[in-house]
Amino acid sequence: MSTTEQIAFHISQILHLLGEDVTRPGLIDTPKRVAKALQDAVRGKQIDLRSIVGQATFETTSKNMVVVRNMPFFSTCEHHLMPFEGIVSVGYVPNGTVLGLSKIPRIVEKFSKQLQIQEELTCQIASAINDLAGAKGSIVVIRALHSCMRARGIQSDGEMVTTAVTGVFEDSATLRTEFWNTLDTHAHR
């Protein structure tokens, strides 16, 4: 029996314990769909961080901040197995090397496609940017809505904002302000 089939079997058992008739037309394929969705939600564990970047680092003489903002992400709360989603913005100061632009969203995907908490996700992205780019420092901001908070308990739509600040960003209020100002400006079209 494949891993997907094993997960689907257990999902079927859970649905039965919840009082559902897993043989009714609307639920017949649900266990297999849920199994595949869960496997996709945690596929980041199988992604090798170094392979994301590969040869996509480039020498630079720039000492100016690089910002990639408003990258959408989806993750799964490790406490309730419910989704949370939002946007990630990243800034870093190069130290002779920059990452290929598409690599930053791939780093976000690697860590968000895991059972996760937002606070840890923020720190993991900052750490990976520092390691892979050899950056002088990084700043990461995540704004997210959590379905576990919206659908159960207090049932609030409150947005959670987390930050991670490392290296030169820790020491420079000017750099942090420049980063925040970049997030507040609207893209020119």
The set of catalytic residues is: 77-80, 118, 146, 148
End-to-end CA, the chain: 52
Distances (CA, A) of 18 to 14, 15, 35, 48: 6, 5, 17, 37
125-177-103 Cα angle (round to 5): 25
AA identity, residue 123: C
Long-range contacts of 68-75 (CB under 8 A, 24+ apart): 68/101, 68/104, 68/105, 69/182, 69/183, 71/104, 71/105, 71/108, 73/108, 73/109, 73/112, 73/142, 73/144, 74/112, 74/113, 75/41, 75/112, 75/113, 75/114, 75/116, 75/118, 75/121, 75/144
